[in-house]
Amino acid sequence: MHFAQYYLDCLSQASYLIGDETTGRAVLVDPRRDIDDYLRDAEAAGLRIELIIETHFHADFLSGHLELARATGATIAFGEGAETGYPIRRLRDGERIYLGVDPATTADGAATTAGGAATTAGGAADRADQAAGRAGRAGRTAGRTAAGAPSGVTLTVLATPGHTPESICVVVHEQPDAPEPYGVLTGDTLFVGDVGRPDLLAAAGLTPEEMAGRLYRSLHGKLLTLPDATRVYPAHGAGSACGRNLSTETTSTIGEQRRYNYALQPMPEDEFVRLVTAGQPATPGYFAHDAALNRDGHPLLDPAPPAALTLDAALAACRDAGAVLLDSRPLAAYTEAHFTGSLHTSLDTRFAEYAGSVVEPGTPIVLISDPGTESEARLRLARIGYDHVLGHVPDPAAELARRPDLVTRTHRLAAGAALPADAQLIDVRNPSEYAAGALPDAVNLPLAALPTSCATLDPDRPVVLYCRSGSRSVIAAALLEARGFRDVRDIVGGYEGAVSACG
């Protein structure tokens, strides 16, 4: 078996390439939009990607199923409850996907069985064609042949609604009759240290409590019935807004999670529902946008580098087309000098997620990036479906020096310094962080919610912002300054610095 995890640190996102080295058949699970690594590795391993499995409609990134299908001809597959704007194959609960040798199919197509029917990964033809000997990747038979038992890598689909209605997990077997699975790809149903959040579908009329109940039954009725030694491969890790307690570890086992995952401890369903619906991170504004694009379809990734724009052209785009200047330089450079009204999120942080928290989907963007980093900034934005990058301003440092009339700096308070009179003290961390400890009189307005919640603040009174260590507060300060707040400051070192300064 060929098994590879691809972990993207900047989005805390994992995808998986699984193949049978005997037949060369492979599947790709939860791909990101830039697919070159998958194609290169599959070719090097002698694998053909025949099926693309999405464990659910992702909200935190734009999936690469359309790009991968175009490049390989593979079929896109979702759980049975999925409704999409493009052709898919629906995977049924309990369905088996054979990547190895199965006598019930032709040699060039991976077979699946469910309820006695076998279907290849490439699609389905009717039983009459199969009986007539019309071989191909899309063959179907009414049942198993007597020619022998299947062998090789086998996947089993588990319907696990809860995070979303169509969520599935994929159990991986090195052989179909192996006494224990090799592992299970758990998507956003089970993480290392946490479980999927059930509160992202309120707009679809599904309450967090209803989805949490489904999640409880999926965990206890499906995943926790697997042997303790079964490896767990989730879709996300620490830092993701898809949960509140995700571990930095990217793999685990069912046994470890049964013992140490707070959400899997013995408890009745109603207690579980209360537990997992409380204290979830604020949802970044781009989540609903990405979930819709992953469901309905989207343009393919454009790999071209961003165009170079003069500063005058960039300012004209802001004035005439509603564009924003997005400064991706390191925090120290931005706070020292930046274009007035520009937004900020550094490439050395969770750049795309924070950009998606403060920039409205569909807004044209002009990048203010250190030379040589503009293509990386554009790619990271494309990974969350922010394709409207008009270009970048080359050599921002020189332009800032040339136009001091357009430049400002971030006003920062030393940890422990006195606050301005009548200041509005705002904690931009997530609710669980705030609940664990906050500065006196601070109001919790998480960064992801700030574009709308800032309407509750008085723009004519001083605003002092803080986060954990001083990164998110600078992003928040840039947003408020762009919205016309007159006196905005942030605390250097954030909550941790303030606590240390106070002894």
Catalytic residues: 467
DSSP string, 48-96: EEEEEE-SS--SSS-B-HHHHHHHH-PEEEEETT---SS--EEEPTT-E
Rounded to whole angstroms, how far apart are CA atoms 166 and 160? Answer: 8
- Which of 420, 410, 415 has the alpha carbon at shortest distance from 495? 415
Rounded to whole angstroms, how far apart are CA atoms 254 and 190? Answer: 10
- Which of 175, 164, 155, 65 has the alpha carbon at shortest distance from 111? 155
Q: Which residues on adjacent β-strands are paired with residue 183? A: 172, 231
End-to-end CA distance of the chain: 55
Give the pair of three-digit tokens for residue 364: 């044209």
* Positive or negative torsion for Cα 153, 157, 160, 163: positive
- In the chain, the amino acid numbered 238 is A
* Positive or negative torsion for Cα 429, 446, 454, 356: positive
Give the pair of three-digit tokens for residue 21: 């080295």
Rounded to whole angstroms, how far apart are CA atoms 489 and 464? Answer: 5
Q: What are phi and psi of 197, to 5 degrees?
A: -75, 140
Segment (H or E) for 91: strand 89-91
- Which of 49, 45, 79, 82 has the alpha carbon at shortest distance from 64? 49
Rounded to whole angstroms, how far apart are CA atoms 450 and 95? Answer: 44
**For strand 338-339 and strand 407-408, is the pairing parallel, antiparallel, or unpaired?**
antiparallel
Given a contact cutoff of 8 angstroms between Cβ atoms, the answer to whether 262 and 337 are in contact is no
- Which of 143, 152, 159, 158 has the alpha carbon at shortest distance from 178? 152
Strands (E), 22-84: 25-29, 48-53, 75-79
Rounded to whole angstroms, how far apart are CA atoms 220 and 215? Answer: 9
Rounded to whole angstroms, how far apart are CA atoms 315 and 41? Answer: 43
Rounded to whole angstroms, how far apart are CA atoms 243 and 60? Answer: 11
Residue 65 CB neighbour total at 10 angstroms = 27
